Amino acid sequence: MDSGEATVRVAARIRPVEQPSYQATAISFVDSTVAVASDAGTEKTDVECILVETSDAKSAEASQEQVFQSLGQPIIQGAIAEGISQGLLVYGASGSGKTFTVIGTKEAPGLFPRLLRSLLQPDGVVDKEVGETRIWFSSLEVLNDQVQDLLASQPLSERRVAPAFIHHPILGVQAVGATEVPVEACDVQELIDFTLKRRALGRTCLHASSSRSSQIYRLRVEVRGTSGRKTAATICLFDLAAPTSACSRGDCLSLAALQTTVKELGKGHGRGTQYRDALFSSSPLTLAMRDTLEGTWRTTLVATLLAGSQHAQESAATLRFARDLQLLRTRPVAARMRSNQLQLLQEEVVQLRRDADHFGLGVQVKTALEDRSSLIAECMKQAACQAEERRKFARQRAKALEWCGLMPESSESTTAPHLLNMSDDPVLAGCLLYVLQRGERTSIGSDVDNTIVFDGLGILPNLCSIINQDDKLVSMSRPDFARRHVLLNGKTISASESVVLSHNDRMCLGRAQLLLLKIPLQDADAQQGQNSHTLQDECKLPGDLSEYLPELELQGLEVTFDKVSAVMEHSDSLKYVHCYVRDLLPKLPPSDGLACFAALRRACYLLDEANMITREVRPEDHLHFQVELIWDIERSPEEVLLICLLRYASKGNPTPRTGAPQDFQVLHYWSYTRFLEKLDYMRDVHRLHCQGMHGWTGRSDPLHDPWLEPSVSSLQQYLLTNSLACNQAANILDNCAKDQGLATARKACTSAGHAAADAEQLRSRIDELVQELEDKNAELEERDQIVNQLKEQMAQIMSLVGGMAPGEAAEGLPFEQPEPEAPCSREKRDSPASDAEHSCTMTVSASTSEGGFGGGEVRDTERSRGFRVDNFGVSKGNLGGGALLSQSSLTPPHYYRDLRR
Ligand SMILES: Nc1ncnc2c1ncn2[C@@H]1O[C@H](COP(=O)(O)OP(=O)(O)OP(=O)(O)O)[C@@H](O)[C@H]1O
C-alpha cells in the first residue's frame, strides 16, 4: 500500500437476539474476526472494532456513547486537527439499527447529534487550541434515484429543482442546490427534528417502506486555531437503505449501483477516469459517495448486524459488502478552505473560456463551464453574517411547519387534542404533531387555505374538518363527496352529522395519511405518561378489518351477506363483487367465509388505490382494475383472487358487466401476489409523477411500466437493444482508453490550440505588414508622379537650354520655378506634334554623360536600372533636386510586392 493511501476502517455493531441463546445466534467473533454462519456456509470478515449491544433498552445510551467514543472521536480528530474530510457509512439489514446508530432517539442520541455537539465544543475532544469553529449543515435523501433536500423550507409541492451532486477533479463531490444552514449548539435537536419531519411529510404514510431511502447528513466545518491557522473539512454520514428488502424497486437501485461500484473498484483492473466517471454516475448515491470510496477522504463503515439466525443471510451479505469495501483505497489530504476553492474555480472558468474561444464551445467545455459556475454560486452562498443567516433559516423552518399545520417543538408537550402521523419507520412515526386549537375548527385537505395541508394520493382539496370544543369534546365531519376518502377506525363516516371522536381514534385520509388522534384529557393514562403502547401498536392499517369483524368472529356467528354488506360500501371494488360475495358466503363454513371476505376486502382496498393511481398518472388510457374470483373453495382465500386490468374504449365510470362487450378489453390477469408487486411499482410511479419535472418516464418500457405485462419476446428485444447500446458505449470507452484517454486527447487539443493561436498571431502580423506595404506603395506611386512631373520639367528645360552654353542655362532658368505648362507633357506629346515641340524631344544618357547633357538615346545600363521612368533616365547628381531622385525613394512598387510574397 502506498504510504499516502488509507483503507476503509470497518466496525461491526451487533444486535443480539432478544433472548440470548446460542442456538438462535448466527454470529460469533474471535479477536477482530466476525463470523456469520448461514445455510450457504460461514462468512468471516476482519474488522477493526466490534461493538456488541445488549438487549437491555436501558443500556442504549451507554452503548451509543461507546459507539461515539470508538468511531466519532477519531472522525472529529481527523477533521479538526488534520483538516481531512471524513465519511461514515452505515450499512445493514432492515431493522438492524442503522438509523439508531446515526440519529438515535432523544434519550439515546446517535452519532450525528453527538458529533455535532462535540464539534461545537471541540476543546475537550481535540488536543489543539481551537479558536473558532463554524459549521454548516445540509441533509439530503436519495429515494427512487431522486435527491430530496430535507432542509428545504418551501412546501413539498413547490419543490421543482432537486439538488444535484457534481464531481470536481480536485475539490471532490459538491452538492449543488442543497439548503446549507449555519449551526449553533442550540439548533442541533431542532434541525434533526426538522429533517425527520421533512422525511415524514415527503412520503405516503401508508405502505411506505422505511428501508427504501438513504439519508445523507453533511457537516461542513471550518476551524480557526488560536494561532491563526485555519482548517476546513467535511463530515458526511450515510444512513444507507436496507439491501435485502424490496430490492426490486425503490432506492435498492441506488444500493445495487453502490454494490457494483464497490466491487468494480475493488477489482482494481486499472480502467481509466472515464470508466470510473461512468461507474459513479450510475446513481446519485454513488456519486455522492465518490470521495469516500476513492477520493481524498478517510472512510469508516459501520456494519450493523442482527445476530438472530433468521437474519443470517442478511448479516452475511453485510459482511461481504464490508470485505469488498476493505479492498478500496483513498488518499486522504487536507481539504481546501472555501476561499481557496473559489479561487481555483474562478481560474478554471477563465481557462475554460479561453478553451471555448479557441476550440468553440463543445459539449465538454460547456458542461465543465456550467458545473464550475454552479460550484462558484455554491461557494458564494456562504453567509457573510452567520448569525443572521442562522436566524433567517430558523424562521423559514418554523414558517414551513406552520404552513402545513405543524407546531414547533416547544408546543409538543401540549395537553390540547392533537393528531400524530403514523409510519412503519419507527423514527418517523409520531414525529408530525398537528394541534387542534381549542374552540376552533381545523380544516384538512390539499387546498392551501386549510388549517392542515396534506399532499398525496386521494387527498381532496377539502377533505374533512375537526372541531375541538373544550379540549375534551372533539368532533369530525366531512363533505358528501369525500366519503371514501375519509375512514375513521377503518369505516366511512356519515356526511349528514358530525361524529364525536375518542382518544386513540385512527383516521385514514385518502391513501396518503394515517393519523392517530390523542385527546390527553380523555385518557388518564396518557396524562400520567403511562401509556405503554408504541405508536405502531396503536395504529393498524384499515385493510385488515381488525376494527370491524372481530365482534363477528368472537360471537361465532355465521358471516352472512347482510352483516358484511355495510362494509362493502367502503370500497368501489368491493361493491362491484357483491354478487360473488352473496353467492359465496352461504356456501362456506363461518370461519372460511370470514377469512375469504377479509382477504377480498383487503384486496379491494388495494385495488381502489391502484385505480386512484392509474386515474392520476395515466387518465387518457382509460385503464381500470377489478377483482374476480376463481370458484375453488379448497384453496387459500388469497389464491382464489384474480386481478384483471381492463382498458375502456372511452372515459367514464366503468361498469364493465353491464356495458357492451366491445366497450372494454381485458389486458392482463394477474395473481394477487403479482398484483401486489405491481402496486408497489405503481406507488413509486405515482411519487415520481407528483414530483413534476423529474416525473416518471417509464411508460411503455417493459421493465419500468407496471401496467404492462411484457411477453418474453418483448423482454428479449428490450434486453438485446439495451445490450447493444451498452456494447456500443463500452466500445467507445475502450477506444477512448486505447487512445490514451481523454487527458491525452485534451493535451493534444491544447497543443493544437496553442499552435492555432500562434498561427493566428502570425496571420495578423502578416496582415499588418501587408497594410504597411500597401501604404508604402501608395506613397511611392505619388512619388512616381512627382518624378514624372520633374522629368517633364527637365525635358522642357533641356529643350529650352538646347542652344545655350551650360553656364547660361544655369543662370537663366531656375529649377524651382518651372513653367506652369510643361511643353513635354504626355497629352502634348500624344497630340499631333508641331515642329517646335518635336525639336524639344531629346534623350539624356545617364551612363555616358555623367556631369554633362549629351544628346542621344536612353541607354538602360546597369547603373540606370531602377531609375528608368518612361523613356527617360536621370542620373543622380547631374541635376538639382537630387534628393527627390535618390535610389531609395525611387525603389519601384513591385519591389515591395515581391517581398510580400
Ligand atoms: N442498539 C440498539 N439498542 C436499542 N434499540 C435499537 C438498537 N438498534 C435499533 N434499535 C431500535 O430498533 C428499531 C429499528 O432500528 P432502526 O430504525 O435504526 O433500523 P434500520 O436499520 O435503520 O431499519 P430500516 O433499514 O428499516 O430503516 C428502532 O426502534 C430502534 O430504536
First to last CA, the chain: 64
- Please report the pLDDT score of residue 819 as a whole number: 40
| Phi, psi angle pair for 285, to nearest 5° | -70, -45
Which residues face 306 on adjacent strands? 15
CATH 3.40.850.10 given to domain 6-336: yes
Tell me how far the alpha carbon of residue 396 lies from the centroid of ligand 1, in angstroms.
Answer: 31
Cβ atoms 647, 664 nearer than 8 A: yes
Instruction: Name the closest-CA residue to atom 31, ligand 1.
Output: 100
Residue 240 DSSP symbol: P
For residues 535 and 117, what is the distance between their CA atoms, to the nearest angstrom? 29
The candidate with the shortest Cα–Cα distance to 569, out of 627, 483, 501, 644, is 483
H or E stretch at 781 = helix 741-800
The one-letter amino acid at 585 = L
3-state secondary structure 532-587: CCCHHHHCCCHHHCCCCCHHHHHHCCCCCHHHHHHHHCCCHHHHHCHHHHHHHHHH
Which residues face 221 on adjacent strands? 135, 233
**pLDDT, tens digit, for every residue of 413-448?**
567 898 988 777 777 777 788 889 899 999 999 888
* Window from 310-319, 331-340, 344-353, 826-835 with minimum mean pLDDT: 826-835
* Mean pLDDT along residues 650-672: 69
Q: Indicate the average pLDDT of the chain.
A: 75
Q: Which residues line ligand 1 (CB under 6 A)?
A: 15, 53, 57, 60, 63, 92, 94-100, 105, 210-211, 242, 304, 425-427
For residues 549 and 734, what is the distance between their CA atoms, to the nearest angstrom? 65
Tell me how far the alpha carbon of residue 447 lies from the centroid of ligand 1, in angstroms.
Answer: 36
Question: Residue 880: is its pLDDT beyond 50?
Answer: no
Instruction: Name the closest-CA residue to atom 10, ligand 1.
Output: 97
The candidate with the shortest Cα–Cα distance to 365, out of 357, 735, 287, is 357
Q: Which of 17, 18, 100, 425 to mutate to test the pocket of ligand 1 (most atoms within 8 A of CB)?
A: 100
The candidate with the shortest Cα–Cα distance to 424, out of 560, 277, 245, 561, is 245
For residues 156 and 201, what is the distance between their CA atoms, to the nearest angstrom? 8
Tell me how far the alpha carbon of residue 687 lies from the centroid of ligand 1, in angstroms.
Answer: 26
Q: Give the start-to-end residue ranges of the domains of the chain.
A: 6-336, 404-540, 550-707, 768-900
Q: Cite the annotated binding site for ATP by residue number.
A: 92-99
Cβ atoms 534, 547 nearer than 8 A: no
Question: Can you tell me which residue has the cell 377489478?
Answer: 626
Q: Cite the annotated binding site by residue number.
A: 92-99
| Phi, psi angle pair for 444, to nearest 5° | -130, 135
Instruction: Name the closest-CA residue to atom 13, ligand 1.
Output: 95
* Mean pLDDT along residues 143-155: 81
Strand pairing category for 214-225 and 440-445: unpaired
Tell me how far the alpha carbon of residue 428 lies from the centroid of ligand 1, in angstroms.
Answer: 12
The candidate with the shortest Cα–Cα distance to 98, out of 87, 85, 86, 112, is 112
- Please report the pLDDT score of residue 484 as a whole number: 78
Question: Residue 72: is its pLDDT beyond 90?
Answer: yes
Instruction: Name the closest-CA residue to atom 27, ligand 1.
Output: 211
Instruction: Name the closest-CA residue to atom 11, ligand 1.
Output: 97
Confidence of residue 138 (pLDDT cuts 50, 70, 90): very high
- Pick the atom of ligand 1 nearest to 13's CA: 1
ipTM of the complex: 0.97
Tell me how far the alpha carbon of residue 97 lies from the centroid of ligand 1, in angstroms.
Answer: 3
* Mean pLDDT along residues 805-826: 41
- Please report the pLDDT score of residue 842 as a whole number: 37
Strand pairing category for 486-488 and 506-509: antiparallel
The candidate with the shortest Cα–Cα distance to 737, out of 220, 270, 321, is 270
- Pick the atom of ligand 1 nearest to 15's CA: 1
- Please report the pLDDT score of residue 123 as a whole number: 62
Please report how many Cα atoms fall inside a 13 Å half-sphere around the Cα of residue 506, on the Cβ side.
22
C-alpha distance from residue 496 to each of 474, 480, 481, 483 (Å): 17, 8, 12, 11
Question: Residue 21: is its pLDDT beyond 70?
Answer: no
Tell me how far the alpha carbon of residue 102 lies from the centroid of ligand 1, in angstroms.
Answer: 10
Calculate helix-pair angle for 312-326, 252-267, nearest 10 degrees: 40
- Pick the atom of ligand 1 nearest to 53's CA: 1
Tell me how far the alpha carbon of residue 55 lies from the centroid of ligand 1, in angstroms.
Answer: 12
- Pick the atom of ligand 1 nearest to 104's CA: 31
| Architecture, CATH, for domain 404-540 | Sandwich (2.60)
Cβ atoms 457, 616 nearer than 8 A: yes
